[in-house]
């Protein structure tokens, strides 16, 4: 259990986060920061606090409009930013189209964290994921273990669900890794996908797997198209909680993490989804997984897509 977890942005994802941090007892104190009037973050916290006697949890929740509520947090989860939303004409924006708006928000978030919790471990969820984590790094310059993004746990969960359904087995039996950027170029790594330790190809034909991988890459847009009001929020929150839980309980859990690469996979200075070990020290290790030639090519293409969005960040920040 941590001393304090701070959540920035108390909308759909942030709302699930503070609720679940409390229920799962990940920290003794929870702080929520959101700019919404009149006192949105404090109201969300009061609502959950008033439920704690019912679930028998002694955790203090504090919300506010100022970043100072984050003071003393050991872990911060950043969800501040607009989500994707289906347009009136039925089209769905890419995550990259959120960049301009969310970059401005992220600059403020970075300053708020630096001022109030400069030593905290930070997990970021706002989109476009890889470019927003890159922006936080540019502004905050923390060590590699203390800042990373959540995308791969969610993308892999989607891949696992689709595989489990097609194979007719429990989601518990399916292990999967989705690597690369959190966009349409993400790489579901078939050679790492296992059902109870056996290759997925033993259970599902290649053409069916192809369809599952395509659906995985577009799974976020599928939900955006169906909701109409915004983007997926329960599964992204649960994915971030999986990471936060590994930190809070020093579990040394291996999972896909959007990590700053410093030479691994031949990449330097970009945040890309790769397997890592999460524990009390944050991102304690990046793992270089063996890929087939075509998976390596797909990962290289995905890295180039991340590089081009980060070049836009560099241009916008000047
Ligand atoms: N500081 C703190 N909170 C902010 C700031 C800021 N500078 N700017 C905006 N917010 C808040 C909004 O007031 C809103 O309550 O961030 C919250 C975002 O919540 P939602 O709009 O419900 O979005 P959500 O679905 O939670 O997604 C958040 O995560 O997955 C990504 O694409 C998604 O970028 C989006 C982010």
Please write the tens of the pLDDT for every residue from 37-83: 999 999 999 999 999 999 999 999 999 999 999 999 999 999 999 99
Range list of β-strands (E), the chain? 2-8, 27-33, 60-64, 75-78, 121-124, 147-149, 174-175, 178-179, 187-188, 194-195, 198-199, 253-262, 268-279, 282-286
Structural domain that includes position 266:
152-317
Phi, psi of 316 (to 5 degrees): -70, -35
170 & 313 share domain: yes
The confidence score (pLDDT) of residue 17 equals 98
26 & 41 share domain: yes
Ligand 1 in contact with 34 (CB < 6 A)? yes
143 & 158 share domain: no
Ligand 1 in contact with 9 (CB < 6 A)? yes
Mean pLDDT computed over 26-32: 98
23 & 121 share domain: yes
Number of independent structural domains in the chain: 2
Catalytic residue among 86, 95, 182, 190: 182
102 & 171 share domain: no
pLDDT band for position 275 (50/70/90)?
very high
Ligand 1 in contact with 10 (CB < 6 A)? yes
The confidence score (pLDDT) of residue 300 equals 97
> Which ligand 1 atom is nearest residue 233's CA?
25
170 & 312 share domain: yes
**For residue 191, is pLDDT > 90?**
yes
pLDDT over 70 percentage in the chain = 100
166 & 221 share domain: yes
| CATH code, domain with 66 | 3.40.50.720
Looking at 95, 119, 149, the residue that finishes a domain is 149
Looking at 96, 122, 149, the residue that finishes a domain is 149
The confidence score (pLDDT) of residue 318 equals 81
183 & 46 share domain: no
282 & 204 share domain: yes
80 & 171 share domain: no
Looking at 104, 119, 149, the residue that finishes a domain is 149
DSSP secondary structure letter of residue 173? G
Rounded to the nearest integer, the mean pLDDT of the chain is 97
40 & 52 share domain: yes
Q: How far is the CA of 10 from the centre of ligand 1 (A)?
A: 7
The residue whose C-alpha atom lies closest to atom 31 belonging to ligand 1 is: 126
* 182 assigned to active site: yes
**For residue 244, is pLDDT > 90?**
yes
96 & 201 share domain: no
């Amino acid at each position: 259990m941590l001393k304090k977890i701070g959540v920035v942005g108390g909308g759909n994802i942030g709302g699930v986060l503070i609720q679940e941090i409390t229920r799962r007892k990940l920290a003794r104190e929870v702080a929520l920061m959101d700019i919404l009037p009149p006192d949105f973050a404090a109201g969300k916290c009061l609502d959950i606090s008033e439920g704690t006697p019912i679930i028998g949890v002694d955790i203090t929740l504090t919300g506010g409009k100022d970043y100072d509520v984050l003071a003393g947090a050991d872990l911060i989860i950043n969800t501040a930013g607009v989500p994707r939303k289906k347009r009136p004409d039925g089209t769905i924006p890419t995550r990259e189209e959120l960049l301009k708006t969310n970059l401005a928000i992220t600059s403020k978030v970075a300053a708020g964290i630096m001022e109030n919790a400069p030593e905290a471990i930070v997990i970021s969820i706002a989109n476009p994921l890889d470019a927003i984590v890159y922006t936080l790094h540019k502004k905050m310059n923390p060590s590699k273990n203390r800042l990373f993004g959540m995308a791969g746990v969610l993308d892999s969960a989607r891949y696992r669900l689709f595989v489990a359904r097609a194979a007719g087995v429990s989601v518990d039996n399916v292990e999967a890794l989705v690597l690369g950027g959190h966009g349409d170029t993400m790489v579901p790594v078939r050679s790492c996908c296992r059902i109870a330790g056996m290759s997925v190809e033993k259970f599902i034909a290649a053409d069916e797997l192809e369809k599952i991988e395509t659906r995985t890459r577009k799974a976020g847009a599928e939900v955006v198209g169906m909701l109409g009001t915004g983007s997926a929020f329960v599964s992204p929150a649960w994915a971030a909680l999986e990471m936060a839980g590994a930190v809070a309980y020093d579990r040394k859990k291996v999972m896909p993490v959007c990590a700053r690469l410093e030479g691994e996979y031949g990449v330097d200075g970009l945040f890309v989804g790769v397997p890592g070990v999460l524990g009390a020290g944050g991102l304690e290790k990046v793992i270089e997984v063996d890929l087939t030639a075509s998976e390596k090519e797909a990962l290289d293409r995905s890295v180039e897509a991340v590089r081009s969005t980060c070049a836009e960040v560099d241009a916008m920040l000047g």
